Chains A and B, each alone.
Chain A
């Protein structure tokens, strides 16, 4: 039985990939996730400049999931080189995805040029960051035209496989994915957090997050993420990293069947800590055994009406 996945020419030993924003500040931390069973890792999004992020509280769980406004903190792309090198040395067999962001297209391209020189197997464009080129400061991922423009500009400066990370906060995600593909994206990562949302402390009579609002992930995001991946799968040919509220193996299989080839794992860490990766891969393995599948690829897109069940042959 095979659980390894070849994605854009890169070999992942299993379909779980640590999602961006979780445990991705240091190379050592990323390597610790590999030690605990994840197939590949996505580092924390980096801008050009150092960013301290928001004051705390920045992350909260609630019965439906997680809300965060960490604030895209980071050392800045140049200073973070060291962390990529540490990881690449510790984990040569587990793909490393570098995530980049920019306040505008010019910055995005400059960051991409530097990331291109790092030992990353793939570059993920965090298009949920606000874009000041847009007159309303909307994220790239909320507009097909901006997604296309951003993707086109980055495509020119790197030959590495690029995945565009989209936001669920748009009714047009299928179209937006198409525009990214048309400009040369090799893959789509779907989805980032939804919202923004808020939680209020009734005794303090205030929003709890220091930023007041934050992105919502975890269990509440799952049905949204599944539908987004399902839509994107119908609209593009390129492969998908499906992420959003996968908290166990069953959720993971749902995401594969929606159309994802790889699984972005984040909020599951809040429920299962470091056991999350093995929990998920074990369940996928057991399901495949029970249901008669030989390769994890066979599960991809099975929930679609025109899917061909490989076991029929």
Chain B
């Protein structure tokens, strides 16, 4: 597989921490797949694929670490980023779903938009729950609405929509309506709660995990999850929630670059 060094054709600042980058290339990725994005002299990191058309794809980059900060600060329209992929197993829309609920937070929102795009094409009814710390940090609300989704918003500080978490909105929703499948991408503790709620309500659920990656295509072993050893880059990143819940590390810990286990509050597990 080669690296495609593609020019960025558009940059949209959704909020001070999040920008959407557009590339003119027919990626033909499935919703939930990702690409490895190379910022020369800095790093190469996995990014979920967002909106796609016949000849374009978009990724959403959240300013989290050295690489994403360098991209935000240095890349202008016309500059190139290295794109390797698409990789991984995406969301499964093959079953006879009539109504789905999407639960997205922060940098988990682009793949939720990608699923919504595909699901809307199939005529599936969609409720999209999006969450953020505050109103200004909500991402893609307009885009979800334009696809015909029912959009439910939650903010930690109550500046828009429900004051609290997306999982609280999901609980309320499941109390009132039926859904065929819940799909989620965002902070792992949120996804863990979503997976448990889906299990309790006996609803299909798919979660999109994120782990530190190196090769990105299933051979180095950096992103394997305990206890089956499945690879997030190749066997995931999207997993059936039942499968994810079989893993003792889901919602509990992940691994650093050296392979050391770190719990989700940042502390070493050793």
CA distance A21 to B1 in the complex (A): 20
The answer to whether A26 and B38 have CB atoms under 8 Å apart is no
Contact of A59 among B214, B234, B256, B257 (CB under 8 A): B214
**Digit string of B207-241 for contact with A (CB within 8 Å is 1, else 0)?**
00000011111111110111111110010000000
Q: Which of A67-99 contact B (CB under 8 A)?
A: 68, 70, 73-76, 79-80, 82, 86
For the residues of A in contact with B, the DSSP-based class is loop
CA distance A51 to B257 in the complex (A): 8
Which A residues form the contact surface with B (CB < 8 A)? 21-33, 44, 50-53, 55-62, 68, 70, 73-76, 79-80, 82, 86, 201, 203-204, 206, 208, 210, 266-267, 269-270, 273
Give the chain B neighbours of A273 by CB distance below 8 A: 218, 234
Interface hub of A30, A56, A60 (most chain B Cβ within 10 A): A56
| A74-B226 contact, Cβ under 8 Å, with A55-B42, A59-B214 | no
Contact of B226 among A24, A26, A44, A73 (CB under 8 A): A26
The answer to whether B219 and A270 have CB atoms under 8 Å apart is yes
How many of chain B's residues have a CB under 8 angstroms from any CB in A?
41
Q: Using a Cβ cutoff of 8 Å, how many contacts connect chains A and B?
A: 129
The answer to whether B224 and A79 have CB atoms under 8 Å apart is no
The answer to whether B214 and A53 have CB atoms under 8 Å apart is yes
Kindly state whether residue B3 has any CB partner on chain A within 8 Å. Answer: yes
The answer to whether A26 and B229 have CB atoms under 8 Å apart is yes
The answer to whether B256 and A70 have CB atoms under 8 Å apart is no
Give the chain B neighbours of A22 by CB distance below 8 A: 219-221
Contact of A56 among B45, B217, B224, B260 (CB under 8 A): B45
Give the chain B neighbours of A203 by CB distance below 8 A: 5, 80
**Nearest neighbor of A63 in chain B, beta-carbon distance:** B2
Give the chain A neighbours of B5 by CB distance below 8 A: 201, 203-204
Q: How far is the CB of B172 from chain A (nearest CB, A)?
A: 37
Q: Which of B1-23 contact A (CB under 8 A)?
A: 1-3, 5
Give the chain A neighbours of B234 by CB distance below 8 A: 273
CA distance A58 to B43 in the complex (A): 9
CA distance A201 to B39 in the complex (A): 12
The answer to whether B224 and A26 have CB atoms under 8 Å apart is yes
CA distance A27 to B227 in the complex (A): 9
Contact of A57 among B36, B225, B227, B270 (CB under 8 A): B36
Give the chain B neighbours of A24 by CB distance below 8 A: 221
Contact of A74 among B43, B213, B259 (CB under 8 A): B259
Q: What 7 A-B pairs are tightest by C-beta distance, nearest first? A: A32-B229, A28-B229, A56-B44, A203-B5, A59-B215, A29-B224, A52-B257
The answer to whether B230 and A61 have CB atoms under 8 Å apart is no
Kindly state whether residue B40 has any CB partner on chain A within 8 Å. Answer: yes
CA distance A201 to B2 in the complex (A): 9
Give the chain B neighbours of A52 by CB distance below 8 A: 256-258
The answer to whether B214 and A23 have CB atoms under 8 Å apart is no
Kindly state whether residue B251 has any CB partner on chain A within 8 Å. Answer: no
CA distance A30 to B231 in the complex (A): 11
